[in-house]
Each structure stands twice: as structure tokens, then as C-alpha cells.
Chains A and B, each alone.
Chain A
Amino acid sequence: MVDTIYVEEEVLEHPRAKLIISKFPLARIIEIDRFGEVFNKRNQNFKIQKINPAIILAKKYKKLILPAPDGFGIGGKRNYYFSHMYNCIYDCRYCFLQGMYSSANYVIFINFEDFAEQIIQINKEFSKDNITFFSGYDCDSLALENITGFLDYILPIFSPYPKSMLEVRTKSAKLKPMAIVSPPDNCIIAYSLMPEIMSKVLDHKAPSIERRIKSMTDLANRGWKIGLRFDPLIYGKNWKELYTELIESISKNIPSEAIHSISFGPLRFPRAMFQKIFKLYPDDILFTGPITQRGSIMAYSEEIENEMALHCRQLFSNFVSDSIIFQCVSEGSSNLSDQV
């Protein structure tokens, strides 16, 4: 239970801020000028803050919607990403957020209207193009949906723009608001996945893979488009069997017609980010694997990466058409992808 909510003075009277605050009647409300006063300051410790994270209610002024790096995408001509939150209630050991900020508090940007305005503007400007908007780069898109109501707000914004696709990346097993609204054609609920026994060790505080598959199944049955995201692929003993079992389990439950796309990518961190994360969790099992420096990134060897990519692509091909399988590559950025 969150026991501290920092609120920027400017949004203190915003109805959405008031609504969020009302959900934590016992929390202490601390007024601040700007969220930078309490977030990502020098000498803060992400790992310790993760014990009892606070909420920070703020307004985002700049860089609300950003173009995705070249090559990033799932088939759209133009790709953008955005985050209405910084940080996540889950604590996954491979997550780059651990190395991104020195603070684990949840920043919620409550000016959803400004996000919507920019999305509309981009859709109007490039109305002839297929555009994909990725939500959930700096957070899990749905994990705090019951608090933020972000998806509930943003979904209808996309309805006049059938060429525009919204990807909502999540590990959450919560079905609201998808369980109560009709599935739009231009929204993908994309689940991050890995074999259950790996997830049990690495995805701290996140719903089990079994629960995620159940949620995907429910959503697929309701007509929602599902994205399967195997990024990062994790190496270890029997990895082939483990990924094979995972895909079998998914394909038994979810009809392939419900799958919008599959993307996968290797475990990789920019070197400086890896060092920050390793310093926080030096005795984590993830770092006992064969992770080595390759130029400016830390990753498994090319041989392992290629073997995993080849095997997994084959597995996915047995389930869905090659045209909806996308592979992320490890050069340079941590999030480049291209079509297989």
C-alpha cells in the first residue's frame, strides 16, 4: 500500500490527481514544486526505494510522444512511443528501468489530455500512413490501470484513426478496462513472456506466466488482438525445451488468429546501464550467465544469440505466419527491431 504521495503544486487541484489521491485515504500528501525535486536525485538508491515506493503526481511538459528509433516497429510505417508513467510496480531483474533512474517511485503524469492532443496531431499529420504508438516504455502500461485509468482514457482517442495502432505492453493479469469495452481493431495488448521457471526467478512481483496466458486467452476470446513479446530471450540449461513448452502452452490456449504479432530479442544492456544494474544486484542469478561485453553493449555471445533467435523464430513460425514475426537486434540501442 502506497503511504506517500508527492503532488506537484500545479496539479494539486486537477480532478485526476484528486481521484488518484482519494484511492489512498491513509497516504500522506506532500506538496512539491516539480517532480525532479524528489525523483532521480543524486544519491538516491533505486533498490532501497523499491521497498516502499511512493507515488508522484506530476505534469509532463515536453517529449510526451517520441519517435521510436529507426527500425523499431511491428510493421507500421511510422513508430512512436510514450509513457504516462515512469517506473513499474514489478521488479524484473533484466528491466532497464533499474539502470535508468536512481529512484523507484512511480511518477504518474496526469495530463493525459496533452498526450491525446499530440497523438491526434500526429495522426492528422500522417493520416495516410500506418502508425504504431507504443505505450509502456518507461512503465507497465496496465499494472496501475486501476489507479490511473490511462487506457480507459486513451483508447477512445484512437477510434477515429483506423490506420493508427496502439500497442499496450504489459505483464499485468488485470483485465480492466478491456473486459468492459468492445475491442477496437487498432489496439494490441502485448504481453511480455518467458518460460515460467525463468519468470519465477526473474520477474519479481509480476503475475505468473500461467496467469498472463489466462488473461491473454480471456482477451483473445473477447476479440482483442494479442501481441506476444519474448524480449529478452533468456539463456540457460534446457532453454530450447523451456521455450518450446511455453509456445506449446500459448498455442493450446490462444488461437493463432488472435495473435497480431510476435516479437523477440536478445538480452542486452548498454554497458553503463548494465554496470549500474549489476552494482545494485551483484548476486542476482541473471548475472551468473554468460553475459559479456560486445562493443558498447553487454549481452550473451553472438553464437548464443543467433542460436536462440533461430530456434525461437522456428517455434513461432509453427504457430503464426512469418509476416507477423519481428526480431529485435542488439546493435547499438537496447530496443532496435526489424522484421524477420
Chain B
Amino acid sequence: MKNTPVICWIVALKVEAKPIIAYFKMSRIDHGLKFPIFEDQTKNNCLIITGVGQLNSSQATQLLRNENKAPPWAGFINIGIAGHGIASMGTLFLVDKIRQHNSTKYSYPSVVFPLKLPRSELLTSDYPTTDYKRDILFDMEGYGFFKTASRLSPKELIILLKIVSDGPEEDVKNLTGKKVSKLVSANIGSILDVSEKLRSISASEARRLSPPDICSDILSGWHFTVSQEHQLNALVKRWLTAFPNRTLDNEIKKFSDSKQILYFLKSSLDNNKVDWENLW
């Protein structure tokens, strides 16, 4: 997996996905898998069409990890239409509280960057809801998605966006594929704004969680045990921060084995006196 930011889009319907696929110029890359997967050229955006329901949403989210499309720093966005008790059609909501139908237990997606979007609670059911009595959102995927995604990435990298498509004044039966795509297209600016903010956090997590590039060169030049590899990754990160003007590969090329390299890194750090005066 490349050490670049990744956004995984989890979408129930093809008509919901269409504007996102078009914006990122994504192409279908799955080869006969249960759920269609799309990816852009940079491979920094991938999208999976899950179909309706929690189980599908959960399985499809997991599939992205199994297919190596969702590294531990991946941001997940579940975007889709939902019913709402009072909000007008087309309103885009950020979900910050989710409950599964027939359960009293809530989950709470984090709000990790300030957004101007209105926020709402979401109730996920296994069947279409037309009982719009409460001032909350209703969908059929959100909870299943969140439960699985929060096992794959930190909860702070998981976002649920819902666009109101039906409610007491707007019968769900009147929805057409065209109308659904239009609802997503009308909100594409806000959706992309959210994804860009999430992408910058994913990028910072990718840097944090990945070994420095030079580690793969070192590992291909010398034999390291698994335990030594962990030590190497940590020591190299510290070393590169400590000595930004030195070139590590030049300094270690004289060593004949992994122990000598680890000893060199450790002793350099043990003798390092941080020059606080020249740091700011």
C-alpha cells in the first residue's frame, strides 16, 4: 500500500455514486466481486457500491480492507439519501449520533474539524421507514457501515453524510434515480469540502503510520528479523528528525549487518543533544 492519503466512499446506490464517480473520473476495477469497486487514477479515492441494507454496507466496507484499498489511515465517507422528520428535501446533514432500530445503544461519530453543515442523529432500520415523527434522519445503512468502518480506521476518520430525500411532505415512492443523482450533485461542493478536510488528516496519519521510505531500502540491503524491523522503523524516524541535514544511507553503507545499523542509530540518538535554540 502506498503511503498516501486514501478516501473510501461507501455508497448504497449507483445513482447516489454517479456524481462522485464522475467528479473523480473513477473507473470500475473489481473483477467479479460481490460489490462494484471504482477507483480514480491517483488511487487516492475508491468507491464501493454496497446495495441497500446494513449487512451489505458492512460487508462492502470490510471488502475494501480485504482488497487492500483501505489502509489503516483511510478516511471513510458514507454518503447517501435519507428520510427526515422536518428538514427540507436536499438538505445535507453530518451525522453525529447513530442508533440501530430496536436498540437503545447509540454510537457517536466524531466531528474532527469544524464544518458549517447542519448535524443530526440517524436511525438505521432494516426496512424503509415512513414514520417521520422525529426530528432525525432515517436510513438503512449508516449503523452497519459505522460499526465496521470503526474497526478499520480510527473513529475520527469516519464520516456519515446524509441528504434528505423524503419526509412527511415528500413521499419516498416519488423518488427516481434521476432525482437521487440530482440531490447528490446539488451538494457536491460541500461533500468535496468534507472529503478534502478528511484527506488532509488521512495524509498526516499515513505519514505517522508508515515507515520512512529509506527503511525499505535498508531492509532490501540487509537482513532484519521482524522485531529488528520494528526497532529500525522507530529509530530511523527519530534519527531523521534529529539529523535532517545528514544522509542516512551514506552513513550506514559501511555496516555489514543489521545489528551494526541498529547500534549506530541508537548510539547517535543517545549522544544527541537537541539544539533547542536553533529549532524555531
- Residue-wise interface mask of B (253-271) relative to A, using a CB-CB cutoff of 8 A (1 in contact, 0 not): 0000000000000000111
Contact of A288 among B110, B156, B157, B272 (CB under 8 A): B272
Q: Smallest Cβ distance from B14 to chain A, in angstroms? A: 30
Residues of chain A lying within 8 A (CB to CB) of residue B156: 44-45, 48-49
Residue B237 interfacial (CB < 8 Å): yes
| Inter-chain contact B276/A195, CB cutoff 8 Å | yes
- Cα of A51 to Cα of B269 in the assembled complex, Å: 30
| Inter-chain contact A288/B112, CB cutoff 8 Å | no
- Cα of A279 to Cα of B72 in the assembled complex, Å: 14
Residue A23 interfacial (CB < 8 Å): no
| Inter-chain contact A45/B154, CB cutoff 8 Å | yes
Residue B114 interfacial (CB < 8 Å): yes
Residues of chain B lying within 8 A (CB to CB) of residue A283: 207-208, 237-238, 240-241
- Residue-wise interface mask of B (232-249) relative to A, using a CB-CB cutoff of 8 A (1 in contact, 0 not): 001001111110000000
Residues of chain B lying within 8 A (CB to CB) of residue A161: none
Contact of B154 among A28, A44, A198 (CB under 8 A): A44
Residue A237 interfacial (CB < 8 Å): yes
Residue A211 interfacial (CB < 8 Å): no
Residues of chain A lying within 8 A (CB to CB) of residue B271: 290
- Residue-wise interface mask of A (277-317) relative to B, using a CB-CB cutoff of 8 A (1 in contact, 0 not): 01110111111111010000000010000000000000000
Contact of B241 among A4, A38, A280, A284 (CB under 8 A): A284
Residue B213 interfacial (CB < 8 Å): no
- Cα of A28 to Cα of B117 in the assembled complex, Å: 11
* Given A197-B280, A235-B273, A280-B208; A44-B237 close (CB under 8 Å): no
- Residue-wise interface mask of B (149-174) relative to A, using a CB-CB cutoff of 8 A (1 in contact, 0 not): 01101111100000000000000000
Residue B106 interfacial (CB < 8 Å): yes
Residue of A nearest to B111 (CB): A4
Residue of A nearest to B119 (CB): A28
Residues of chain A lying within 8 A (CB to CB) of residue B237: 282-283
Residue B39 interfacial (CB < 8 Å): no
Contact of A236 among B111, B153, B269, B273 (CB under 8 A): B273
- Cα of A38 to Cα of B96 in the assembled complex, Å: 11
Residue A214 interfacial (CB < 8 Å): no
Q: Smallest Cβ distance from A295 to chain B, in angstroms? A: 17
| Inter-chain contact A278/B234, CB cutoff 8 Å | yes
Q: Smallest Cβ distance from B176 to chain A, in angstroms? A: 33
* Given A52-B114, A235-B274, A288-B272; A43-B154 close (CB under 8 Å): yes
- Cα of A51 to Cα of B106 in the assembled complex, Å: 24
Residue B205 interfacial (CB < 8 Å): yes
Residues of chain B lying within 8 A (CB to CB) of residue A292: 270
Q: Smallest Cβ distance from A25 to chain B, in angstroms? A: 15
* Given A32-B106, A54-B111; A290-B269 close (CB under 8 Å): yes
- Residue-wise interface mask of B (7-22) relative to A, using a CB-CB cutoff of 8 A (1 in contact, 0 not): 0000000000000000
Contact of B276 among A4, A201, A284 (CB under 8 A): A201
Q: Smallest Cβ distance from A304 to chain B, in angstroms? A: 10
Contact of A201 among B208, B272, B279 (CB under 8 A): B279
Q: How large is the interface on B (under 10, 10 to 19, 20 to 34, 35 or more residues)?
A: 35 or more
Residue B217 interfacial (CB < 8 Å): no
Most buried by A among B106, B156, B208: B156
Residues of chain B lying within 8 A (CB to CB) of residue A30: 96-97, 108
Contact of B108 among A1, A6, A234, A282 (CB under 8 A): A6
Residue A41 interfacial (CB < 8 Å): yes
Residue of B nearest to A279 (CB): B208
- Residue-wise interface mask of A (233-268) relative to B, using a CB-CB cutoff of 8 A (1 in contact, 0 not): 011111000100000000000000000000000000
- Cα of A280 to Cα of B155 in the assembled complex, Å: 15
Residue B277 interfacial (CB < 8 Å): yes
Residue of A nearest to B157 (CB): A48
| Inter-chain contact A52/B276, CB cutoff 8 Å | no
List B residues 203-254 near A (Cβ within 8 Å): 205, 207-208, 234, 237-242
- Cα of A253 to Cα of B108 in the assembled complex, Å: 49
Residue A37 interfacial (CB < 8 Å): yes
- Cα of A279 to Cα of B153 in the assembled complex, Å: 15
Residue B275 interfacial (CB < 8 Å): yes
Residues of chain B lying within 8 A (CB to CB) of residue A28: 96, 111, 119
- Cα of A312 to Cα of B270 in the assembled complex, Å: 22
- Cα of A282 to Cα of B210 in the assembled complex, Å: 10
- Cα of A285 to Cα of B240 in the assembled complex, Å: 10
Q: Smallest Cβ distance from B3 to chain A, in angstroms? A: 13
| Inter-chain contact B270/A44, CB cutoff 8 Å | no
Interchain residue pairs with CB less than 8 A apart (27) = A3-B114, A4-B96, A30-B108, A32-B106, A37-B106, A43-B153, A44-B154, A45-B205, A48-B156, A48-B201, A49-B110, A54-B111, A197-B277, A200-B280, A235-B273, A282-B208, A283-B208, A283-B238, A283-B241, A284-B241, A285-B242, A285-B274, A285-B279, A288-B238, A288-B239, A288-B241, A289-B274
Binding site for B on A (CB under 8 A): 1, 3-4, 6, 28, 30, 32, 37-38, 41, 43-45, 47-49, 51-52, 54, 195, 197-198, 200-201, 234-238, 242, 278-280, 282-290, 292, 301
7 further A-B pairs in the complex, CB-CB below 8 A; given A48-B110, A283-B237: A48-B156, A235-B274, A282-B208, A282-B234, A287-B238, A292-B270, A301-B270
